[in-house]
């Protein structure tokens, strides 16, 4: 069965789902969502996914949005990337940490700093969100001290969730050189067989719109 992932390359949330599918070895194909031209806000898309967002996983049996839910679906289908059974809730804890503390800040900050017209970029909001992101990165940096992976001895969806925005080249106050433990961890992820950069894994790139 080939599953479809409705996604676009600029989305770190879509990247988490796409990279999970890829590294789990699932048969999947991307379906481009032209987000910047309003595709996710059409009536047809809202009928397809009431949350009007990407990514969306589509199979004959299920239509599922929210990257963390899609990641868990892949784990349940394949038995991969979920970690040891006793670590189930620790993996979930770090996926939720990412969703609430890491990606929620990195994604907004990257959007404000890169995808709004320069004259419309709210500097006070950017400074506030940058502080929130720094706090999340500090938490992850401390946790990775002495650990190769966020949970257990191998990569899990916790790692894939938390790295979702950290490979993008657009500036959003994150510099790997400032975070040695995070930098080493990202290098391990990049070295995992099957790893791909978000712009290589999914359709959609800022250069397409220039």
Bridge-based pairing state of the strands 3-7 and 28-32: parallel
- Strands of 63-65's sheet in order across: 28-32, 3-7, 56-58, 63-65
Q: What is the pLDDT of residues 14-71, one digit of tens each?
A: 999 999 999 999 999 999 999 888 889 899 889 888 998 999 999 999 999 999 999 9
Percent of the chain with pLDDT over 90: 88
Residue 117, pLDDT > 70, answer: yes
Q: What is the mean pLDDT of residues 184-208?
A: 96
- CA distances, 144 to each of 31, 55, 152 (Å): 34, 28, 11
Round the average pLDDT of the chain to a whole number and report it. 96
Q: What pLDDT is stored for residue 207 in this prediction?
A: 82
Q: What pLDDT is stored for residue 206 in this prediction?
A: 86
Residue 210, pLDDT > 70, answer: no
CATH code for the structural domain at 3-81: 3.40.30.10
Q: What pLDDT is stored for residue 49 in this prediction?
A: 85
Can you spell out the DSSP letters for 15-43?
HHHHHHHHHTT--EEEEE--GGGTGGGSH
Cα torsion 117, 134, 22, 152 to 10°: value is -170
36 or 78, greater pLDDT: 78
Q: What pLDDT is stored for residue 73 in this prediction?
A: 98
3-state class (DSSP) for residue 144: coil
Q: What pLDDT is stored for residue 38 in this prediction?
A: 85
Q: What pLDDT is stored for residue 116 in this prediction?
A: 94
Residue 172, pLDDT > 70, answer: yes
Q: What pLDDT is stored for residue 11 in this prediction?
A: 97
Q: Where are the beta strands (DSSP E) in the chain?
A: 3-7, 28-32, 56-58, 63-65
Please, which pLDDT band fits residue 2 given cuts at 50, 70 and 90?
confident
Domain segments of the chain: what residues?
A: 3-81, 85-190
Please, which pLDDT band fits residue 102 given cuts at 50, 70 and 90?
very high
3-state class (DSSP) for residue 6: strand
What is the spatial distance between Cα 74 and Cα 57, in angstroms, rounded to a whole number? 10
Residue 196, pLDDT > 80, answer: yes
Q: What is the mean pLDDT of residues 72-95?
A: 98
Top CATH class of 85-190 equals mainly alpha
């Amino acid at each position: 069965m080939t599953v479809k992932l409705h996604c676009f390359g600029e989305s770190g949330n879509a990247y988490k789902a796409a990279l999970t599918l890829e590294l789990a070895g699932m048969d999947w194909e991307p379906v481009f969502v032209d987000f910047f031209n309003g595709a996710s806000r059409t009536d047809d898309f809202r009928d397809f996914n009431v949350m009007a967002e990407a990514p969306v996983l589509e199979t004959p049996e299920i239509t599922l949005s929210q990257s963390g839910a899609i990641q868990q679906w892949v784990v349940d289908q394949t038995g991969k990337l979920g970690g040891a059974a006793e670590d189930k809730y620790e993996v979930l804890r770090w996926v939720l940490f990412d969703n609430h503390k890491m990606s929620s800040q990195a994604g907004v900050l990257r959007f404000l700093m890169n995808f709004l017209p320069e004259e419309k970029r709210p500097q006070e909001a950017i400074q506030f969100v940058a502080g929130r992101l720094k706090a999340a990165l500090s938490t992850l940096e401390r946790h990775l001290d002495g650990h190769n992976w966020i949970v257990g001895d191998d990569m899990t969806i916790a790692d894939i969730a938390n790295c979702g925005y950290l490979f993008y080249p657009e500036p959003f106050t994150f510099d790997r050189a400032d975070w040695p433990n995070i930098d080493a961890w990202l290098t391990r992820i990049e070295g995992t067989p099957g790893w791909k950069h978000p712009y290589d894994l999914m359709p959609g790139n800022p250069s397409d719109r220039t």
